[in-house]
Each structure stands twice: as C-alpha cells, then as structure tokens.
Amino acid sequence: MIWMNDYDAGVLAFLDEAARGAGVPLRRGLRIGFATDALPALGAGLPTATIASCDEYKLPRHYHSQRDVPANVDYDTVAAATTVAEAAIRRAASARG
C-alpha cells in the first residue's frame, strides 16, 4: 500500500482478451493507491491482476468507507466482472486441454 505495484502484463492482456471475447468493455491503465485482494498474490510473485469498477472520476466508489453498503452496489458492474472472470476461467481451462 505504500507504493504502486504493476500487475503482470500477460495477465492483463489475458483478461482483456477474455473481456473482449465476452463482449464486456474494460478500461485499462488506471492506477489506484488503495490495497486490493491481489496484493498477497502479487507479493508472493504470482501473476495476478484486479478487476474493479470505478466511478465517473475513475475512483472506486465508497471503497471501504461507511457508505460501502449493499444498497450502493452496482449489480451491473458485478455481473460484468463475473462475466469477465468466467470467460477468463473458461479460456484458461481450454488452453490446458
């Protein structure tokens, strides 16, 4: 959390391809100073990336604040992230044969 960490370029490209194949637009290149659940894996040297949503200011809305409550969840973005994750999993599984 003290400095920015770059995600694995191959994983980012893989997720981008999965999203494109699933018809889900992704915005790439955003950087955020908040910690994500990917940090432990990244710290362990595992190739990883994060799929997240942002508001019109390109920031995570209500990120771990008192307003981070179920009523503020945008379920369309949850569905889009789930679609990308599923497409990536299917792509990875089919690549393994």
User: Has residue 2 been placed in a domain?
Assistant: no
User: Has residue 51 been placed in a domain?
Assistant: yes
User: Has residue 1 been placed in a domain?
Assistant: no
| 52, 80 contact by CB (below 8 A) | no
Distance CA 63, CA 34 (A): 9
The pLDDT score that the predictor gives to residue 64 is: 75
Q: Note down the domain range covering 45.
A: 9-96
User: Has residue 3 been placed in a domain?
Assistant: no
Selected residue with higher pLDDT from 16 and 60? 16
* pLDDT tens digit sequence for 19-74: 999 999 998 888 777 777 888 888 899 998 888 888 888 878 777 788 888 888 88
User: Has residue 48 been placed in a domain?
Assistant: yes
User: Has residue 90 been placed in a domain?
Assistant: yes
How many domains in the chain? Answer: 1
